[in-house]
A and B are shown apart, each in its own frame.
Chain A
Amino acid sequence: NAGVTQTPKFQVLKTGQSMTLQCAQDMNHNSMYWYRQDPGMGLRLIYYSASEGTTDKGEVPNGYNVSRLNKREFSLRLESAAPSQTSVYFCASRLAGAANEQFFGPGTRLTVL
């Protein structure tokens, strides 16, 4: 099993450009999450999807949109990138119910100039 995979690993954008970060998991997990991590900060939840067909806002959703394409895939879109969105983005998945273990991908390092 590959676990949680993310593409791309690195990306540089200019202010105003758009892009989609891709995430896929092969563990048949129900819930998926997008976090951002800034220097010296913990992870902050952007959006999450409790199950296929549902998405909800997290702590810092402004400037982002998500799509739960199917059970495996959960993408994060930046419609008009801003320098404040420079960060490392992590996707995670979780089985369901009371399970506390989230499985994280390797991250996407995004720089917005």
Chain B
Amino acid sequence: GESVGLHLPTLSVQEGDNSIINCAYSNSASDYFIWYKQESGKGPQFIIDIRSNMDKRQGQRVTVLLNKTVKHLSLQIAATQPGDSAVYFCAEKSSRSGGSNYKLTFGKGTLLTVNP
């Protein structure tokens, strides 16, 4: 079935280090993968997305890597800052879910804590 899960529920890093948040998925029919950040007491905020025909996409201080062979994606945050402390969710969009039927399936999230 369709599911999006995470390897680690929590991740603690030192300020300035690089962070890697992992996500496994099972739906081979996903055509987009999206990362969201949720700070405490707030709604999720879009970070970056990657199309399934890509292996890598870079944004500002973030890089998404997609390995379709093992159905795994990761979010890398460079020079992690205290403001990066949040829960990070991966989400997948099925290729069958488009247009008026657009829907996302979210994973359970990883809590990133950045220590000063």
Contact = CB atoms under 8 A, between A and B. Distances in A.
B34 A40 contact: no
A81 interface: no
Interface of A: 4, 31, 40-45, 48, 50-51, 54, 56, 58, 90, 92, 94, 97-98, 100-107
B103 A43 contact: no
A104 B4 CA distance: 20
B101 interface: yes
A104 B106 contact: no
B35 to A, nearest CB: 10
A111 to B, nearest CB: 16
A40 B91 CA distance: 15
Interface in B80-116: 89, 91, 93, 98-104, 106-109
B108 A41 contact: yes
Interface of B: 4, 9, 32, 34, 41-46, 49, 89, 91, 93, 98-104, 106-109
Contact of A104 (B44, B99, B100, B108): B44
B100 to A, nearest CB: 4
* Residue of A4, A42, A56 most packed against chain B (CB within 10 A): A42
Contacts of A50: 99-102
Contacts of A56: 101
Nearest to B106: A42
